[in-house]
C-alpha cells in the first residue's frame, strides 16, 4: 500500500501513514487537493508555518506507462491566494514511488536552512546554511557531488528564499538539468519553510507494485506505439514545444505585445523550426529530441547551445519563448535562451516573469524588444533593484504599481500565451480554473472538431477538458501525450486499462472524467472557503472590449456560461 510521509520542519518529526483507502486513486494534483482540503485552513498565510508544502507522485509513477511520471508540488499559493498545483518532469516522482511514497507533506518552518535527504530508511534533515543563496546550477552540482548520480533533487532558488511570488520549484532530469514546476509561487512556500532542497535516493528500493502486470503490459504496448506515432508528437520531437510558436502565430492566437495582437512578425526567429535549423547547421552540441524524465517516448525537450557549442539552457519551451519573446517583442532567440537560463538559475517562473515584463514595457519601464533590459531586470531581483522586485511579485502587482490598465491575469496569476479571444474555450478555462489562468488546465486547441472562435459551447468544452487534464495531473501524465490520447478513443481506453491494472480494479473512461471532476470539486471548495466567488471567474475587461488583430475577435462567451462551469461543484 502506498504511503504518505509527513515531515514537520519545526520539530524534525517524520511520520509515515498509509494512504487512506478512499485516496487510493489520488496522486499528484488530486492528492494535493485532498490533503489541502483536509489539513489546511483556506485562510492560512501562504508563507506561514501552517501552509503545507506537498510533493506528490502521480498514480502511474514508477510503472511502465509511458510519460506517466510527472511530479506535482502544491500548497496554498502566495500568488493566487488559492489552492495551487504545479508539475514538472524529472526523476523525483519515479523515485518517490519506488520508495513506496505517493506523497510528502511538509509542515512548519525550520529555524535555519535545511536539506531533506529521503531514502528507504526515512527522512533526515541536514543544516544547509552553506547552500542558502546558491543558484540552481551550483546547487545541483554540489548536491550531486555529495549524494551521487542516483538521486533526484527538488529545490528552490534564491528568489524562493526571498519568498517572491513568482518563485518556482526545480526538479532534476535524468541528466541533472533543471525543470521547473513554475506556476503559483510554490518556490516561495519552500523558501518560507527554509527548505532549500529535498534529495530523493531510491538506491535499493523495490520496483513499484502493480496489481495486474499482464493487463498493464498489453495496455502499455499499444499506448507507447500510439503516442510515438501520433503526428503532433512527431512535430514535438523534431522541433520541441517551441514549434507551437509558429502554430499559434498561424492561428492568430500568439500573445504579442502584452496581448495587444495575435501575430508576431518575427515569429520564425523564436520558433522551434529556427532551433531545429540551428541544431542542424551551425550549433555544435545542440540537442533536439531530449527527454526530461524516464519513460518519456515523445522527447520534446531540447538543449540549447551558443555558437561555440557551450551549454546555454535546456527545455526552453513554447510558453517561455512566447511570453518573454513575442509578448515583449523580443526576437533574439540567443538572448531568450540566456534569459531562460537565468530564470532557471534564480528559480523563477518564466511565464509570470514574461507577463510582468510585458506589462512593465507597456508602462514604459523598458522599450519593447529590449532583450538586454529584460535580462538586467530579472538579474536585479536578488540584488533588490526596485523594478526587479516589482516583476518578482508577478503580473498583477507590476501592473497595479505602474498604473497599467491592461493586466493579463486571472485570480492573481499571469495568463498563458494562447490568446483567449481567439481560442474561446481556452478563455473559459483561464477564467474559471481554480488554478488561475493556466493553459495546462484545459487548452481548447483547434482540431477538436469545434469552432474555436465562436462563443457557443465553449463552457461545455472547457469543463470537459478541465476534468480530463485534472485527471491527467492526478495520474502524472505529461500533457503532450495526453493530447494524443485525448484525440484517439482507442488510446484513452488503453490508458484507463493501464490505470485499472495499476490500481487493481475496473477503471473506465467515465471513471477518468469522474476522477478529474472530484479533484476540481475539492479545489473549488478550497478556493470558495478562501474567499473566491464567481466574480473571480472572469477575464480582465480589456479582452471583452478590445479586438485582437488580425482575427478581429473579442472574448464574448456569456458570463452565465462562465458561472455554469462550476455551478454544480
Report whether 440 contacts 469 (CB < 8 A).
yes
305 forms bridges with which residues in the sheet? 311
Nearer to ligand SF4, 34 or 60 (CB): 60
Binding part of the chain for ligand SF4, among 49-57, 214-222, 297-305, 448-456 by CB under 6 A, reads 297-305
CB of 563 to ligand SF4, least distance (A): 34
Exactly one of 34, 298, 303, 431 binds ligand SF4 (CB under 6 A); which one? 298
Residue numbers 530-549 binding ligand SF4 by CB under 6 A:
none
Q: Cα separation of 378 and 70, whole Å?
A: 28
Q: Which three cell numbers stand for residue 18?
A: 498509509
How many other CB atoms are there within 10 angstroms of residue 159's CB atom?
Answer: 28
Judged by beta carbon, residue 226 or residue 427, the one nearer ligand SF4 is 226
Q: Which three cell numbers stand for residue 502?
A: 495499476
List 53, 259, 264, 299, residue binding ligand SF4 (CB under 6 A) = 299
> Between vectors from CA 77 to CA 422 and to CA 343, what angle results, nearest 5°?
70
Stretch that binds ligand SF4, among 246-254, 288-296, 370-378, 427-435 (CB under 6 A): 288-296
The answer to the question of residue 5 lying near ligand SF4 (CB under 6 A) is no
Identify the CA nearest to 117 among candidates 202, 2, 206, 204. Answer: 202
Q: Does 480 bind ligand SF4 (CB under 6 A)?
A: yes
Please give the sequence-ordered ranges of beta strands (E in DSSP) within 301-389, or none if there are none. 301-305, 311-314
Work out how close the CB of 298 gets to ligand SF4 at its nearest, in angstroms, rounded to a whole number: 3
- Indicate whether 296 belongs to the interface with ligand SF4 (CB under 6 A): yes
> Which range, of 78-86, 197-205, 251-259, 292-300, touches ligand SF4 by CB under 6 A?
292-300
Q: Parallel, antiparallel, or unpaired for β 301-305 and 311-314? A: antiparallel
Q: Which region, judged by CB under 6 A, interacts with ligand SF4, from 267-275, 298-306, 351-359, 550-558?
A: 298-306
Interface with ligand SF4, residue 181, by CB under 6 A: no
In this structure, what C-alpha cell is assigned to residue 396? Answer: 498583477
Among 288, 292, 496, 519, contact with ligand SF4 (rule: CB under 6 A): 292
Sign of CA dihedral 400, 401, 406, 410: negative
User: Which residue lies nearer to ligand SF4 by CB, 294 or 564?
Assistant: 294
By DSSP bridging, strand 114-119 and strand 195-201 are parallel
8 Å CB contact between 133 and 33: no
Residue 123 φ/ψ, nearest 5 degrees: -110, 135
- Pick one of 110, 374, 478, 524: the residue that binds ligand SF4 (CB under 6 A): 478
Q: Cell 526545480 appears where?
A: 170
Tell me the number of residues near ligand SF4 by CB under 6 A.
Answer: 12
Question: Which one among 283, 291, 463, 494 touches ligand SF4, defined by CB under 6 A?
Answer: 291
Contacting ligand SF4 (CB under 6 A), which of 67, 80, 302, 432?
67
Q: Phi first, then psi: give them for residue 115, nearest 5 degrees.
A: -115, 135
The grid coordinates of residue 107 equal: 509542515
CA terminus-to-terminus distance, the chain: 30
Q: Is 177 in the site for ligand SF4 (CB under 6 A)?
A: no
Decide if residue 300 touches ligand SF4 (CB under 6 A).
Answer: yes
Q: Would you count residue 72 as binding ligand SF4 (CB under 6 A)? A: no
**Minimal distance in Å, beta carbon 318 to ligand SF4?**
11
381 in Cβ contact with 421 (< 8 Å): no
Contacts with ligand SF4 by CB under 6 A lie at 67, 89, 291-293, 296, 298-301, 478, 480
Amino acid at each position: 500500500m502506498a504511503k504518505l510521509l509527513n515531515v514537520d520542519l519545526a520539530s524534525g518529526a517524520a511520520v509515515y501513514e498509509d494512504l487512506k483507502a478512499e485516496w487510493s486513486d489520488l496522486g499528484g494534483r488530486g492528492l494535493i487537493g485532498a490533503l489541502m482540503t483536509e489539513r489546511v485552513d483556506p485562510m492560512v498565510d501562504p508563507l506561514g508555518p501552517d501552509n503545507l508544502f506537498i510533493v506528490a507522485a502521480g498514480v502511474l509513477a514508477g510503472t511502465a506507462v509511458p510519460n506517466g511520471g510527472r511530479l506535482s508540488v502544491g500548497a496554498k499559493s502566495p500568488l493566487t491566494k488559492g489552492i495551487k498545483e504545479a508539475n514538472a518532469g524529472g526523476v523525483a516522482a519515479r523515485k518517490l514511488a519506488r520508495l513506496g511514497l505517493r506523497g510528502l507533506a511538509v509542515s512548519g518552518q525550520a529555524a535555519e536552512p535545511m536539506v531533506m535527504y529521503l531514502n528507504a530508511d526515512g527522512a533526515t534533515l541536514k543544516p544547509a546554511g552553506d547552500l542558502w543563496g546558491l543558484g540552481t546550477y551550483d546547487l545541483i552540482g554540489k548536491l550531486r557531488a555529495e549524494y551521487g548520480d542516483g538521486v533526484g533533487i527538488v529545490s528552490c532558488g534564491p528568489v524562493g528564499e526571498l519568498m517572491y511570488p513568482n518563485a518556482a520549484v526545480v526538479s532534476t532530469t535524468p541528466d541533472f538539468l533543471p525543470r521547473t514546476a513554475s506556476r503559483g509561487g510554490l518556490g516561495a512556500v519552500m523558501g518560507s519553510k527554509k527548505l532549500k532542497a529535498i534529495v530523493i535516493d531510491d538506491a535499493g528500493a523495490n520496483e513499484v507494485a502493480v496489481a495486474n502486470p499482464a493487463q498493464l503490459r498489453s495496455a502499455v504496448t499499444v499506448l507507447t506505439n500510439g503516442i510515438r506515432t501520433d503526428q503532433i508528437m512527431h512535430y514535438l520531437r523534431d522541433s520541441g514545444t517551441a514549434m507551437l510558436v509558429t502554430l499559434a502565430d498561424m492561428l492568430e492566437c500568439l500573445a504579442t505585445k502584452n496581448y495587444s495582437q495575435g501575430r508576431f512578425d518575427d515569429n520564425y526567429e523564436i520558433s522551434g523550426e529556427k532551433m531545429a535549423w540551428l541544431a542542424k547547421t551551425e550549433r555544435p552540441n545542440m540537442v533536439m529530441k531530449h527527454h526530461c524524465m524516464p519513460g518519456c517516448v515523445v522527447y520534446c525537450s531540447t538543449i540549447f547551445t551558443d555558437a561555440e557549442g557551450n551549454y546555454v539552457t535546456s527545455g526552453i519551451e513554447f510558453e517561455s519563448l512566447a511570453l518573454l519573446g513575442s509578448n515583449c517583442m523580443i526576437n533574439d532567440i540567443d538572448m531568450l535562451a540566456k534569459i531562460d537560463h537565468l530564470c532557471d538559475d534564480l528559480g523563477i517562473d518564466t511565464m509570470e516573469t514574461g507577463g510582468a515584463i510585458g506589462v512593465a514595457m507597456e508602462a514604459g519601464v523598458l522599450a519593447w524588444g529590449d532583450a538586454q533590459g529584460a535580462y538586467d531586470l530579472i538579474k536585479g531581483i536578488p540584488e533588490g533593484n526596485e523594478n526587479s522586485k516589482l516583476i518578482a511579485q508577478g503580473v498583477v502587482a507590476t501592473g497595479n504599481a505602474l498604473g497599467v490598465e491592461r493586466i493579463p491575469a486571472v485570480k492573481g496569476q499571469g495568463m498563458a500565451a494562447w490568446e483567449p479571444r481567439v481560442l474561446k474555450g481556452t478563455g473559459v478555462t483561464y477564467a474559471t480554473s481554480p488554478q488561475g489562468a493556466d493553459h495546462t488546465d484545459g487548452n481548447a486547441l483547434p482540431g477538436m472538431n469545434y469552432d474555436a472562435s465562436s462563443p457557443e459551447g465553449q463552457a461545455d468544452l472547457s469543463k470537459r477538458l478541465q476534468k480530463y487534464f485534472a485527471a491527467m495531473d492526478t495520474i502524472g501524465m505529461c500533457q503532450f501525450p495526453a493530447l494524443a490520447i485525448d484525440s484517439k478513443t482507442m488510446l484513452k481506453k488503453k490508458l484507463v486499462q493501464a490505470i485499472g491494472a495499476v490500481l487493481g480494479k475496473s477503471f473506465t473512461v467515465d471513471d477518468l472524467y469522474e476522477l478529474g471532476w472530484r479533484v476540481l470539486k475539492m479545489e473549488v471548495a478550497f478556493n470558495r472557503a478562501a474567499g473566491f466567488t464567481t466574480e473571480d471567474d472572469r477575464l480582465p475587461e480589456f479582452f471583452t472590449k478590445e479586438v485582437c488583430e488580425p482575427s478581429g475577435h473579442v472574448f464574448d462567451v456569456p458570463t452565465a456560461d462562465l458561472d455554469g462551469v462550476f455551478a454544480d461543484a
